[in-house]
Amino acid sequence: MAWVILGVIAAVVEVSIPHFGLIFVSVGAAAAAIAAGAGFGFPIQILVFVVALGASLGFLRPRMMSRLGSRGVPSRTEPLIGREGVVTTDIETTVGAGRVNVGGEDWAARAQAPLPAGTRIRVVAADGIVLEVVPA
């Protein structure tokens, strides 16, 4: 009975707070409740709970996330791709990076070829918070 209660509580919390991840606890609790109903002892019930929880996380979560279309945390650099700016600190390929001003903000940047300060640039990609730039 405790497994059923745990499963119901986890399901209610999941419905109340979507993406919390407790639906997998509900799956594990349901499997453990079935094991308990079949007469297995508590150690086996725990084992069934853990295996079902892990299996549901491993197999169901990736499918659910792809269906929900979650992109995760939005990037601050993504909207900058395609925009133009100016090199504020020389970009040297040997050092690995320089600085650029894009949209009134200062960003770390790198380029395939050295670019002196004052060069107009266009952002072509981003690697984390470092902008990949080319001459405009």
Q: pLDDT by residue for the chain (136 residues), tens digit each?
A: 899 999 999 888 888 886 667 888 999 999 999 999 999 999 999 999 999 999 988 888 777 777 766 566 677 888 999 999 999 999 998 777 799 999 999 999 999 999 999 999 999 999 888 999 999 9
> What is each CA distance from 128 to 74, 75, 76, 125, in whole angstroms?
12, 8, 9, 10
Q: Classify residue 19 by its DSSP letter.
A: T
What separation, in Å, do the N-terminal and C-terminal C-alpha atoms of the chain show?
68
Domain ranges of the chain: 2-68, 78-135
For the whole model, what pTM was predicted? 0.49
What 3-state class would DSSP assign to 32?
helix
Confirm or reject CATH 2.40.50.140 for domain 78-135, answering yes or no: yes
Q: How does DSSP classify residue 21?
A: S
Exposed, middle or buried by CB within 10 Å (0-12, 13-18, 19+), for 92?
middle
